[in-house]
């Protein structure tokens, strides 16, 4: 049976961690589901790992529709979460709705939007009209030029306060889940405790409700040096074995360890 946002909410309420990996094609969709991955994220990180770009800024809506269709073709039971790419949701809530609707038509079950309180009206507009939304705060790669690089966010007390406020505002606006990328583990823990929606960490410590990694990073295909990543192929016999190990390690709370957090 298909995992829905209700299933994830129940897992969260029962204290069961759920697992997410990025996925961009049908073959991996089938393989990841077989290994027990709950959510397939059609991430705009495909700009980096598939297209070879330095940033995600040139990824288009058509790219995201194409890869969502591919993933949907190979998927029978995971929830498909698709990133809204840069420039397709920031201008007006109605423009965001029109573009999100195209991603749902391609096979997504939920869309992900980068940004804090400035995105609250958009989150409200979409969720009130039947489109589930995962918000994304902390390091938001689409704002790399404004942030001055891919670096840890929420380091000072003032920054941490703003991020906590953002999280609360987004939940109140109707966000179904919240990704936190590259934030100190203690801050991610506090935000997780304050919210009643699942938090998904990447470089945000082990106290989040779920974890996500980029598939090509955790398989050691993409040459990342990020501290939060773990190459699950190192001890694995096959790709399937590596994905199984990731699922087990997240569910048991073994990953991320202290060496992967800030
Ligand atoms: O695009 C992506 O892969 C993401 C994850 C890093 C969370 O947004």
User: How far is ligand 1, taken at its centre, from the CA of residue 120, in Å?
Assistant: 20
Tell me whether strands 199-202 and 133-138 are parallel, antiparallel or unpaired: unpaired
Tell me whether strands 210-213 and 18-22 are parallel, antiparallel or unpaired: parallel
The ligand 1 atom at the shortest distance from the C-alpha of residue 214 is 3
Query: Which protein residue has the closest C-alpha to ligand 1 atom 2?
Result: 43
User: How far is ligand 1, taken at its centre, from the CA of residue 1, in Å?
Assistant: 25
The ligand 1 atom at the shortest distance from the C-alpha of residue 45 is 1
pTM across the whole model: 0.98
Mutate which of 21, 22, 256 for ligand 1? The one with the most ligand atoms within 8 Å of its CB, which is 22
Query: Which protein residue has the closest C-alpha to ligand 1 atom 1?
Result: 43
Is 246 strand, coil or helix?
A: helix
Query: Which protein residue has the closest C-alpha to ligand 1 atom 6?
Result: 214
User: How far is ligand 1, taken at its centre, from the CA of residue 80, in Å?
Assistant: 13
Contact 134, 142 (CB under 8 A): no
User: How far is ligand 1, taken at its centre, from the CA of residue 97, in Å?
Assistant: 21
DSSP 115: B
Is 12 strand, coil or helix?
A: helix
Q: What is the pLDDT along the chain (262 residues), one digit of tens a residue?
A: 999 999 999 999 999 999 999 999 999 999 999 999 999 999 999 999 999 999 999 999 999 999 999 999 999 999 999 999 999 999 999 999 999 999 999 999 999 999 999 999 999 999 999 999 999 999 999 999 999 999 999 999 999 999 999 999 999 999 999 999 999 999 999 999 999 999 999 999 999 999 999 999 999 999 998 999 999 999 999 999 999 999 999 999 999 999 999 9
What is the per-residue pLDDT for 126?
Answer: 98
What is the per-residue pLDDT for 113?
Answer: 98
What is the per-residue pLDDT for 17?
Answer: 97
CATH code for the domain in which residue 28 is found: 3.20.20.60
User: How far is ligand 1, taken at its centre, from the CA of residue 132, in Å?
Assistant: 17
Which residues span the domain enclosing 232? 5-260
CA atoms 219, 222, 223, 228: torsion sign: negative
- Residues contacting ligand 1 via CB (< 6 Å): 22, 41, 43-45, 83, 179, 181, 202, 212, 214
What is the per-residue pLDDT for 141?
Answer: 98
Domain count, the chain: 1
User: How far is ligand 1, taken at its centre, from the CA of residue 130, in Å?
Assistant: 23
What is the per-residue pLDDT for 169?
Answer: 98
What is the per-residue pLDDT for 52?
Answer: 97
Catalytic positions, please? 181
Mutate which of 32, 45, 178 for ligand 1? The one with the most ligand atoms within 8 Å of its CB, which is 45
Contact 103, 84 (CB under 8 A): yes
The ligand 1 atom at the shortest distance from the C-alpha of residue 20 is 7
Contact 198, 209 (CB under 8 A): yes
pLDDT, tens digit, 9 for 90 and up, residues 11-45? 999 999 999 999 999 999 999 999 999 999 999 99
The ligand 1 atom at the shortest distance from the C-alpha of residue 200 is 7
The ligand 1 atom at the shortest distance from the C-alpha of residue 212 is 7
CA 1 from chain centre, in angstroms, equals 22
């Amino acid at each position: 049976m298909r995992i829905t946002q209700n299933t994830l909410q129940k897992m969260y309420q029962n204290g069961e961690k759920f697992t997410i990996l990025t996925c961009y094609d049908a073959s991996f969709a089938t393989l990841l589901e077989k290994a027990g991955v709950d959510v397939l994220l059609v991430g705009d990180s495909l700009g980096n790992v598939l297209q070879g770009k330095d940033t995600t800024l040139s990824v288009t809506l058509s790219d995201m529709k194409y890869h969502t269709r591919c993933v949907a073709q190979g998927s029978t039971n995971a929830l498909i979460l698709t990133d809204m790419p840069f420039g397709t949701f920031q201008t007006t809530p109605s423009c965001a709705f029109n573009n999100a609707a195209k991603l749902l038509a391609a096979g997504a079950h939920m869309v992900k939007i980068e940004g804090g309180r400035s995105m609250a009206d958009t989150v409200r507009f979409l969720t009130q009209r039947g489109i589930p939304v995962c918000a994304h705060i902390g390091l938001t790669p689409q704002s790399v030029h404004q942030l001055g690089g891919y670096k840890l966010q929420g380091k000072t007390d003032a920054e941490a306060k703003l991020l906590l406020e953002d999280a609360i505002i987004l939940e109140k606006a109707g966000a179904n889940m919240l990704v936190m990328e590259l934030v100190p583990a203690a801050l991610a823990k506090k935000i997780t405790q304050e919210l009643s929606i699942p938090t998904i960490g990447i470089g945000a410590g082990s106290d989040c409700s779920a974890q996500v990694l980029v598939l090509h990073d955790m398989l050691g295909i993409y040459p990342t040096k990020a501290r939060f990543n773990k190459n699950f192929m190192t001890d694995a016999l096959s790709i399937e074995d590596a994905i199984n190990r990731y699922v087990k390690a997240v569910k048991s709370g073994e990953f991320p360890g202290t060496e992967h957090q800030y």
